[in-house]
Amino acid sequence: MIMKRISKKTTLRILVSGLFLQVCLLLSAQGQMTFAGKWEIDHSKSDAEFKDYQVFCNIVQSASAISVEQIIIMKDGSKTSMPAIIYNLDGKAVTKEEQGGTNKISSTLSPDKRTLSTKFVRTMNGADYGSKTTYTLSADGKTLTVKTCDLKDESPMIQVYNRK
């Protein structure tokens, strides 16, 4: 069997092609980053109000919506699950008449798909109550920061989660 030597030029082309392929795969993986998954609170980075609880977020994401469910485990081990909140990604607000008032939920996803900004407004007896929440993914997709404040952007609370 006769073996041919590979020229330096051919070797260089193979290396450059391999490097190009790796960069493309890395960029492709970053472009598909989502909020979806199971998240656990990081007490060292979150506000003190949450230190007495284990808090988990389960997030499901599709092309048209994001669903966020919070599970809270108390010190005594009892578990409370908050009803999932669904945020539409089509820009349309969801309005629902409920218990003598009107609830309106709106949301927007940033162009880089790493920040979800939401707004919940409850109108009752002519007054608005509610909150704004921003969900922000870290560049590597391993950390989720949730900042919630009132409608006047006051009294912020920060929760930081790590992907499980």
pLDDT tens figures, 90-120? 888 999 998 888 999 999 999 999 999 999 9
Cα separation of 84 and 123, whole Å?
21
Q: What is the DSSP string of 48-114?
A: GGGTTSEEEEEEEE-SSEEEEEEEEE-TTS-EEEPPPEEEESSS--EEEEETTEEEEEEEEE-TTS-
Three-state SS at 152: coil
So what's the pLDDT on residue 4? 54
Q: Is 66:116 a contact under the CB 8 Å cutoff? A: yes
Cα separation of 104 and 145, whole Å?
23
So what's the pLDDT on residue 12? 41
Cα separation of 46 and 145, whole Å?
9
Pairing of strands 85-88, 79-81: unpaired
Length of the chain: 164
pLDDT band at 9; cut points 50, 70, 90: low
Instruction: Show the domains of the chain with their CATH numbers.
Output: 34-163 (2.40.128.20)
pLDDT tens figures, 116-142? 999 999 999 989 999 999 999 999 999
Least-confidence region, from 16-20, 46-50, 69-73:
16-20
- H/E segment holding residue 17: helix 8-31
Task: Please tell me which of 19-23, 55-59, 95-99 the model is most confident about, judged by mean pLDDT.
Answer: 55-59
In the predicted model, is pLDDT for residue 6 greater than 90?
no
* pTM for the whole structure: 0.77
Q: What is the mean pLDDT of the chain?
A: 83
